[in-house]
Amino acid sequence: MIDFQGLNKWFGSALHVLNDINLHVEKGEVVVVCGPSGSGKSTLIRCVNGLEPFQSGKLLVDGFDLGGKPSLLRKLRMEIGFVFQQFNLYPHKTALENVTLAPIHVRGLSKAEADARGREILTKVGLADRMQNYPGQLSGGQQQRVAIARSLCMQPRVMLFDEPTSALDPEMINEVLDVMVGLAKEGMTMIVVTHEMGFARKVADRVVFMDQGMIIESGEPESFFNNPQNERTRDFLSKIL
Ligand code: ADP
Ligand code: MG
């Protein structure tokens, strides 16, 4: 579903932000990406939906060549859900309106079809009684679940998460992670940048550790956490676990 082949990206001439990235994600796999701040995690996943151009190597997403025609990017982006640390909901639209906008305006669903889908998905993320609320009337955890629902309403083939719980108060983290665990178990293909290692242990097929633009180590959670091979991985894990 996602295939990085020797991908390199620089910001300007000095910053080699992605250094020979090779990463292969099968349909239905969940890959967790961790690493220190500034290691290139966000840039890596932003490449997957074409938000970041790159200078060399190859990136294939769902058979689509990201080095190819920019005109096809719009089409690809419809198939990829992206959830950020900041929820970026429309403040003057209700939860239901937030999740139905794109299905109506981008996918061309009728309002009735979009409403039905939106209600179903908001119910699935535990917000059946919050559909008519505005973002300002919702907690951070509820807003992030609306943001996830908004992506799901587009019926994406891949979901990307960039530190989705980092801006949340601790007591709200689990309600968001639970939704993500549910998605993973349903077979969604996901790349998740997070330092929530409990989540990684529970659902990741693979954990990837990045430092200074490179994938330093990757493995199944069991071996990654219990027996990290690289000194930098061990050092990082000792700081966050
Ligand atoms: P992470 O998500 O792991 O914290 P990022 O991918 O956000 O790392 O950033 C990796 C490096 O690239 C950092 O040094 C950051 O300052 C730099 N960077 C990110 N975006 C840009 C940009 N648009 N222009 C120049 N440098 C950038
Ligand atoms: Mg980041």
**What whole-number distance in Å separates Cα of residue 97 and Cα of residue 70?**
30
Per-residue pLDDT tens over the stretch 121-174:
999 999 999 999 999 999 999 999 999 999 999 999 999 999 999 999 999 999
Ligand 1, closest atom to CA 37?
Answer: 4
Ligand 1 contacts CB of residue 43 (under 6 A): yes
Cβ of 9 below 6 Å from ligand 1: no
pLDDT in tens, 30-54: 999 999 999 999 999 999 999 999 9
**Residue among 7, 8, 9, 11 to mutate when testing ligand 1 (max atoms within 8 A of CB):** 11
Q: For 173-226, write each residue's pLDDT tens digit.
A: 999 999 999 999 999 999 999 999 999 999 999 999 999 999 999 999 999 999
Q: How many A from CA of 108 to the centre of ligand 2? A: 33
**HEC readout, 65-124:** ECCCCHHHHHHHHHCEEEECCCCCCCCCCCHHHHHHHHHHHCCCCCHHHHHHHHHHHHHH
Confirm whether pTM is higher than 0.95: yes
Taking alpha carbons only, the member of 62, 73, 57 closest to residue 26 is 62
3-state secondary structure 185-204: HCCCEEEEECCCHHHHHHHC
pLDDT computed for residue 73 by the predictor:
87
Complex confidence, ipTM: 0.98
Asked whether the predicted pLDDT for residue 67 surpasses 90, the reply is: no
Ligand 1 mean position, distance from CA 114 (Å): 36
Q: What is the Cα–Cα distance from 16 to 197, expressed in whole angstroms?
A: 27
